[in-house]
């Protein structure tokens, strides 16, 4: 395995570890626990779960690996703050949506080579990529892994109660 392949493998393992932790955490919560705020007046756990699913769903077009699976999440979980939209998907719906997104992302990620990972993502122009080659798929993978980890940490600190 080349050094590049080892780096990609390590990053993908970190992604998978964080995705699995997020899933395990949120799936185990009751409907009441999902209504708990991470801090007084802040986002509810169910909102964080939906937000993570929506952000991860956005990776398909950003990485050029396919269309979004659930663009209907955007108005609720990306364009609006928590409680701005009256009705959220149920815990069961979010569980299925998040699992589908994670499963399909993992399949797509597994097909990319180390060379594919250092290619530009779709939000950067060819001209900008020449000047800023760090704006690649791999950097997106790293930043989105950190994003998942950050929100997972927030959720854990909420210490859900029954």
pLDDT of 161: 63
Residue 141 three-state SS: helix
Token pair, residue 10, equals 């390590």
pTM for this entry: 0.95
Segment 57-86, tens digit of pLDDT: 999 999 999 999 999 999 999 999 999 998
pLDDT band for 160, please (50, 70, 90 cuts).
low
Q: Which CATH architecture has domain 3-131+141-157?
A: Up-down Bundle (1.20)
Closest C-alpha among 75, 130, 68 to residue 97: 68
What CA–CA distance (Å, rounded) separates 134 from 112? 17
What CA–CA distance (Å, rounded) separates 137 from 105? 13
CB atoms within 10 A of CB 7: 14
CA distances (Å), origin 55, targets 5, 30, 60, 89, 128 = 26, 23, 10, 16, 24
What CA–CA distance (Å, rounded) separates 35 from 21? 19
Residues with Cβ within 8 Å of 46's Cβ and at least 6 positions away in sequence, in order, are: 34, 35, 88, 91, 94
What CA–CA distance (Å, rounded) separates 72 from 54? 9
């Amino acid at each position: 395995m080349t050094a590049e392949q080892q780096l990609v493998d390590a990053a993908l393992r970190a992604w998978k570890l964080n995705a699995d932790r997020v899933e395990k955490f949120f799936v185990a919560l009751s409907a009441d626990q999902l209504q708990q705020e991470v801090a007084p007046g802040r986002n509810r756990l169910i909102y964080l779960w939906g937000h993570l699913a929506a952000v991860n769903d956005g990776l398909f077009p950003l990485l050029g690996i396919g269309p979004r699976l659930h663009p209907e999440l955007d108005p609720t979980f990306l364009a609006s703050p928590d409680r701005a939209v009256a009705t959220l998907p149920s815990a069961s719906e979010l569980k299925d949506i998040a699992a589908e997104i994670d499963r399909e992302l993992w399949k797509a990620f597994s097909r990319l080579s180390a060379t594919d990972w250092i290619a530009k993502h779709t939000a950067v122009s060819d001209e900008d990529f020449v000047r800023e080659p760090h704006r690649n798929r791999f950097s997106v993978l790293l930043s989105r892994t950190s994003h998942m980890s950050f929100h997972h940490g927030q959720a854990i600190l909420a210490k859900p109660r029954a």
